[in-house]
A and B are shown apart, each in its own frame.
Chain A
Amino acid sequence: MSEVPSTTVARDDLFGLAAEFTTTPGIYHAAEKTRAAGYTWFDCNVPFPVHGLDRAMGVKMTILPVFVFFGGLTGLILACILQVFTNSLQIDLWALVPVVGYQFEVSGKPLIGPAAFVPVAFEMTVLFSALTAVFGTFFLNKLPMFYHPVLKCPQLARATDDRFYLVIEAKDPKFSLAEVEAFLHTLEPESVIALEK
């Protein structure tokens, strides 16, 4: 049931070609071969993370953990500053403006009590790390992105259900319609679909 992509979409409007697979070994081996054939601008659209597919595609380890580390560090430092500032600060800005925190004596306890500051410092570290992890993922994945050729094509709607698609984009330096089409057919897909920009 493979279509002839070259007749369906004009060359200028072509985003890329998609090959459809029904099994995980199918998409896995297809990704390996696509990478080996030297394509770089390709992606797999799959309903769930297929184990090891990212490595087969040659996806580099994400920088996200580094972001999260610095997010957590920011939370920790902010929490320490917040607690010390609000509970014990006493400085004179430019020797004129007194800046005083809310100094509240409780049973003669020190205003800066490191032990008492631990729970809030811990919670703020976790909070900032988690926010960085989630919004960092969105940022690196360029989400939200409400328009995308893959989303536009109704034939690819099953990428979130039970089908696996390998898309080679037209901006790949090695892209040539006839060659890529022939190459995708060698991967034994269910069908090959042309994607409009």
Chain B
Amino acid sequence: MTTLPLKDNTGENPSQRAQLILNHTSFGSVTDDILKGNECPKPPRSWYIALAISFSMMSMLGVMIGYLIFTGVGVWGNNNPVAWGYPIVNFVFWVGIGHAGTLISAILFLFRQKWRTAINRFAEAMTIFAVICAGTFPGIHIGRAWLAYWLFPIPNQMDMWPQFRSPLLWDVFAVGTYFTVSLLFWYLGMIPDLATMRDRANSKVKAIAYGIASLGWRGSMRHWHRYERAYLLLAALATPLVLSVHSVVSFDFAVSQLPGWHTTIFPPYFVAGAIFSGFAMVMTLAIPARELWGLKNFITTRHLENMCKVVLLTGSMVGYAYSMEFFIAWYSGEIYESFTFINRAFGPYGWAYWIMVSCNVITPQIFWFKKARTNIVIIFIASLLVNVGMWFERFVIVVTSLANDFLPSSWGMYEPTYVDVLTFLGSFGLFMTFFLLFIRYLPVLAIAELKAIMPEADPHGHGHSYNEMEGETDASAKEMEEGE
């Protein structure tokens, strides 16, 4: 199937909807094409190499966490003014990455953006793995990791409860809820596709494993009816949730009184930044995955182009927030606030600030040009740069404000140690290991949903998916045949 030439579906003809699935007119061939990466007896060699590297990095994370727990937090660069350091930078970075998945699956679902069906499954998977990485960092940052259960309201003999008026506890609930709801959303969406894999399994073990995971789904329309309702409800619930999670993360900063943190712009600015970084990560993963797994008929250039537009929009919002922060710092007349921002740009951490600005504000502006939005190499490089920039954004926010606050006598510079750096790199290993296992053993695209957006799926034969006007159905059908 992939040998067929890929039709350019990035044209802008308002009378015709863009084709979202290329080179397929039958449901069966869609199933075959999506599952060939799962069903082939041996995955490509690059998959093994990637898994070996990721697994080694994940093991390194384990070693570093072990070393930390046995030795103490002194192995990190965290010091007295900069008590948060790398762990919280990484936490905010990973939670941000985790925002694209639920945005794609919930908000774009409510907006009836049909192109989301090709990318929602692995974006959701990415969300879950990113939140696992994120959750690791506060867990080890608390110092005595064996007391991490104190974060939860568990009755105990000390009569001690968490402090519900603290934003740090709100975070526990926000991230915990986000993880649970994302997992449910992901799993619910996957049940019909797991049933497809069960029915196509070529070994007893696979049939039993997928059979248990798919709960005995048999595609009953009476079940689909409730399933669709539940999916819609979950989307409606996850929409405010996804906006709330990074808002709550931003409260960790905004509710404190530190200059550079204590601002009302933080919640919307954090949410925009989270979506920005999340989409960049989706593209970073989608581009190699569609090459390796032969998914170009489903994740088409048009999908990447749409994601580029989201990145451009959210990147510009982030750029606006950066400049507005500066303006308000000056306009407020607050000397501490003004100093903090001048210090961010021209102080000892100025280099980090300018990496952040060039990656997050300048890089996405290239997506104003269609040539850039449809060029895979440019998209890939830009998405990597955005990931780098968004990590530096969190570094700038966390470190500069803590290092130089009110009194120069309490200032202190922060420098990460090798343990900090290796722990951070190790979290990528954790993320990639899960992701690689996911694309091999679970349905990487939402097969049932993709079939439902094919023009052949319309029971009235109008082909609404690609063509709004009924009179043009024949013409567009003919054109599609020519495109084959």
Q: Do A and B bind each other?
A: yes
Chain B: which residue is nearest A159 at the CB level? B219
Residues of A within 8 A of B (CB): 23-25, 27-28, 31, 43-54, 56-57, 59, 62, 64-65, 68, 82-83, 86-87, 100-102, 104, 106, 109, 113, 116-117, 119-120, 122-124, 126-127, 129-131, 133-134, 136-138, 140-141, 143-148, 150-151, 157-162
A-B contact pairs, 14 of them (CB 8 A): A46-B221, A48-B457, A54-B222, A59-B221, A64-B226, A64-B229, A65-B233, A126-B237, A130-B185, A134-B188, A143-B215, A160-B217, A161-B28, A161-B200
Given A117-B164, A160-B192, answer yes or no on A138-B451 (Cβ-Cβ < 8 Å): no
Contact residues of B between 441 and 472, Cβ < 8 Å to A: 448-449, 451-452, 456-461
Cα A137 to Cα B223 in complex, Å, equals 8
- Interchain CB contact (< 8 A) of B226 among A120, A126, A137: A137
Chain B: which residue is nearest A135 at the CB level? B184
Which residues on A sit within 8 Å (CB–CB) of B227?
A: 49, 137, 141
**A101 pairs with B199, CB closer than 8 A:** no
Which residues on A sit within 8 Å (CB–CB) of B26?
A: 162
Chain A: which residue is nearest B181 at the CB level? A130
Cα A109 to Cα B122 in complex, Å, equals 45
Cα A104 to Cα B238 in complex, Å, equals 33
**B220 pairs with A157, CB closer than 8 A:** no
CB distance from B147 to the nearest CB of A (A): 16
CB distance from B437 to the nearest CB of A (A): 23
**A143 pairs with B216, CB closer than 8 A:** yes
**A53 pairs with B28, CB closer than 8 A:** no
CB distance from A11 to the nearest CB of B (A): 24
**A50 pairs with B164, CB closer than 8 A:** no
**A62 pairs with B229, CB closer than 8 A:** yes
Asked if B384 CB lies within 8 Å of chain A CBs, one says: no
Cα A157 to Cα B218 in complex, Å, equals 9
Binding site secondary structure of chain A: helix
Asked if B330 CB lies within 8 Å of chain A CBs, one says: no
**A49 pairs with B226, CB closer than 8 A:** no
Which residues on A sit within 8 Å (CB–CB) of B27?
A: 47-48, 161-162
Interface centre among A48, A56, A83, A101 (most CB of B within 10 A): A48
Contact residues of B between 303 and 336, Cβ < 8 Å to A: none
Given A119-B251, A123-B244, A130-B184, answer yes or no on A140-B165 (Cβ-Cβ < 8 Å): no
**B225 pairs with A54, CB closer than 8 A:** yes
Which residues on B sit within 8 Å (CB–CB) of A131?
A: 180, 184
Which residues on B sit within 8 Å (CB–CB) of A122?
A: 240, 244
Chain B: which residue is nearest A32 at the CB level? B459
Given A109-B165, A148-B216, A161-B27, answer yes or no on A119-B248 (Cβ-Cβ < 8 Å): yes
Which residues on B sit within 8 Å (CB–CB) of A145?
A: 215-216
Cα A42 to Cα B198 in complex, Å, equals 24
Given A104-B163, A148-B216, answer yes or no on A24-B229 (Cβ-Cβ < 8 Å): no
Segment among B83-91, B170-178, B338-346, B393-401 that sits at the interface with chain A = B170-178
Cα A95 to Cα B396 in complex, Å, equals 55
**A160 pairs with B215, CB closer than 8 A:** no
Cα A29 to Cα B51 in complex, Å, equals 49
Chain B: which residue is nearest A54 at the CB level? B225
Given A104-B163, A116-B165, A122-B244, answer yes or no on A45-B219 (Cβ-Cβ < 8 Å): yes
Cα A98 to Cα B24 in complex, Å, equals 71
CB distance from B471 to the nearest CB of A (A): 19
CB distance from B478 to the nearest CB of A (A): 19
Cα A177 to Cα B14 in complex, Å, equals 53
**A46 pairs with B224, CB closer than 8 A:** yes
**B234 pairs with A134, CB closer than 8 A:** yes
Given A43-B222, A47-B196, answer yes or no on A113-B180 (Cβ-Cβ < 8 Å): no
Given A127-B181, A137-B188, answer yes or no on A102-B234 (Cβ-Cβ < 8 Å): no
Chain A: which residue is nearest B241 at the CB level? A126
Cα A138 to Cα B8 in complex, Å, equals 41
CB distance from B94 to the nearest CB of A (A): 19
Interface centre among A64, A87, A144, A160 (most CB of B within 10 A): A160
Which residues on B sit within 8 Å (CB–CB) of A100?
A: 159
Which residues on B sit within 8 Å (CB–CB) of A82?
A: 153, 164
